[in-house]
Amino acid sequence: MAALIALSFYQTVLQMQTGLIAYEKNNSVYIGDPLFLEPFWMKNSGRSTVVIPGWHRMSYDYSDNSYISQELEKNIRKLHAITKNAVTDGRYIVFGAGSTQLLNAAVYALSMNMSSPAKVVAEKPFYRWAIVKDKDIYENMLKYKSLADSGTSKDTQLRALKLIKVVLEDGGRGIFNFAYKTMRGRWTKLKHVLSLSKRFKLQEIPPAFCNYSRTVRGASPAFAWLKCAKEEDSNCHKVLHHEANILGREGRSFDAEDHYVRLSLVKSADDFNLLLNRLKELVSKEKHNQTTRSSYLVLTS
């Protein structure tokens, strides 16, 4: 029996080495998991570490009966002031467990004063918190929050406060410069690879004025929208998954055609490099097929 197991294992290894068995894990670029920031926080690990005693802030609310730390709210306002991406003066802050919960809270709050159905439209970008102008809507959103989860975890708020304070120490320069340099580099590499393809197209994003840096900057998007240009590639998600083990999000998830697929660019460096290499392989195969067809036409003409 031992000899048979050893022989079977040897044959499996041999088949894998000779290409008879092929296995590769999916390169999942499905969600916007911001792991690209890991190197920044590792470099600043000492200043961003949070230690929480077991007894610390066990109550659902704070001493003022609110569900958000006043210190956290103050620093959120400072963050928007330096990034210049939202007005917080004269407005209220609702802290939530992600933008989806906050959107649900907004729908709940708006529905309180409506006698008939209405559509709610949200404009990007969406944040870990909501900035609300109307006091009644703000109070109804808090009511929704209290019913849904009795407020956001104190541990979560404490960690968010610690990280925001680190960001604010140098006016945001450290993290914003790191993020822009990283994402700009990724976008440039991705554009170069796909510029060599006729089968796959990338969305065009012109340079735009940056409120933070006060300069015009080149694109550095968190997501890439890829289009399969061939009519027969009607589902770009399946094309990338089946031919390159790349797992993105289908266009239909965003009310777009399935000729489109969304790829996340904010994951780790290893994830992005794997994505880039697999796209290079796809483009290389495309070039090889074009060369083969051209040679065939020459030979048969």
Sign of the torsion angle spanned by Cα atoms 224, 228, 229, 234 = negative
- Residues 85-121 have pLDDT tens digits of 889 999 999 988 888 888 889 888 988 877 777 666 6
What integer pLDDT is reported at residue 249 of this predicted model?
A: 94
User: Scanning the structure block, which residue is given the tokens 């070039």?
Assistant: 287
Give residue 193's identity as a one-letter amino acid code: V
In angstroms, the CA 128 to CA 126 distance is 7
Given a contact cutoff of 8 angstroms between Cβ atoms, the answer to whether 144 and 101 are in contact is no
pTM: 0.80
The alpha-helical segments, DSSP class H, found in the chain are 2-18, 38-43, 45-48, 70-83, 99-111, 135-149, 154-168, 173-195, 236-244, 269-300
- Residues 71-94 have pLDDT tens digits of 999 999 999 999 998 899 999 999
Residues in the chain, pLDDT under 50: 1-24
Give the number of other Cβ atoms within 10 Å of residue 152's Cβ.
Answer: 22
What integer pLDDT is reported at residue 128 of this predicted model?
A: 72
What integer pLDDT is reported at residue 1 of this predicted model?
A: 37
Average pLDDT, the chain: 84
**DSSP annotation string for 69-95:** -HHHHHHHHHHHHHHTS---TT-EEEE
Give the number of other Cβ atoms within 10 Å of residue 277's Cβ.
Answer: 13
